[in-house]
Amino acid sequence: MPKDNEFSPQNITQDQKAIFSCDAEVFRKDFTKLPFMLNHSFVDSQLFTLPRLARAAEQLIEQGRGHRFMARQGQNDIGAGWGAMPTVKQVAKAIESIGEQNSWMKVSALNEADPEYVEFLDAATQQIEDMLGRPFRENITHAQMTAFISSPGVAAPYHIDHEENFLCQVYGEKEVCVYDPSSRENLPDNEIERFYFGKIDAAQYRKDMDHHGKVFHLTPGTAVHHPSLAGHWVKNGDQPSVSVSLVFCTKQIDRRAYTYQSNFLLRKMGLRQKTPGTSPHWDGLKANAIHAISKRNPQSYQELIFSGPSRIKAPARLAKRLIKGAPPAN
Ligand SMILES: [Fe+2]
């Protein structure tokens, strides 16, 4: 993994009252375009201690949202490895094991667990808009806060995400390498199209990309912004790590996703497609076509971005089941 192009933050200003602090010019210029580092002030917040995060996971399970909690130990899902253990006990077990090797747990959508997290996310969103000095909130289609709790040395391989992300380190250290999302050389259109049609590992890491990424060393109180579709990998230091990620979907990136989904279908029909952005008129028509078949009032990120492709794929899935003689899924 590349190390010779490590990036150090410059001119970061400290403001303990603010949730985030960052060089204002960098923030305005690079937000949603390029990765950059910033500081955050919630290392000592009671909202992000291990017992509080465990309680949030339990709250989600109690509310029937157990799918928001995921844990793994070694190479296995905890659900598989620990058999019949109730999910609430898995939370306690996952937290206990975090000092051991290869434990990993994720509590998604903390803001669905408890109004305190909603309040926090709202304050952070307002501050992002204030730092930007232009409207941001009105463009948000989905906002979410997720906690990652993992063992020393645990790594996340190179991948892309749809959302605009602020990955904030609360405990322990990690290295995050982020690539320029605008480089179609690193990330070709066909990989993005496949990603948006449901292949989450479509983005491929290639050896010749080694020196194209910026490595950010995160310590408690620091954060990195990585824009939508910026390829990245993550590696923990030699202590357990707790990170919190604040992610945002916006009207702009959602419509670009729908354009990519249309392009995936048109390319399947043998029609060559231009990179979204080069022909705004056609991009708009293609985005409208997918938006028209997507779920009207999406209740989750999954529904917001992937309900269109799911509906397109549904008849093929049904046909496959019928051919195999299995009853159709409800
Ligand atoms: Fe990611």
What structural domains does the chain harbor? Answer: 1-250 (2.60.120.650), 252-319 (no CATH)
Q: What percent of the chain stands above pLDDT 70?
A: 84
Give CA–CA dist 15/12, Å, rounded: 10
CA of 108 to the centre of ligand 1 (A): 13
Q: How far is the CA of 330 from the centre of ligand 1 (A)?
A: 31
User: Which regions in the chain score pLDDT beneath 50?
Assistant: 1-16, 75-84, 328-330
Cα 16 to middle of ligand 1, angstroms: 27
CA of 138 to the centre of ligand 1 (A): 24
Ligand 1 center to 321 CA (angstroms) = 33
| Cα-Cα-Cα-Cα dihedral sign, residues 194, 200, 203, 206 | negative
How far is residue 243 CA from its own chain's centroid?
12
**CA separation for the pair 271, 274 (Å, rounded):** 10
| Separation of CA 316 and ligand 1 centre (Å) | 30
Give residue-wise pLDDT tens across range 4-49: 444 444 444 444 468 999 999 999 999 999 999 999 999 999 999 9
Reported pTM = 0.86
Question: Average model confidence (pLDDT) for the chain?
Answer: 86
Query: What pLDDT is attached to residue 176?
Result: 96
Q: Measure the CA–CA gap between 225 and 214, rounded to whole angstroms.
A: 12
Q: Report d(CA 237, CA 76) in Å as an integer.
A: 21
For residue 328, how far is its CA from the centre of ligand 1 (angstroms)?
A: 34
Distance 209 CA to ligand 1 centre (A): 18
How many helices (H) and strands (E) are present in the chain, helices listed first?
10, 13
- What is the amino acid identity at position 6? E
Residue 4's pLDDT is 42
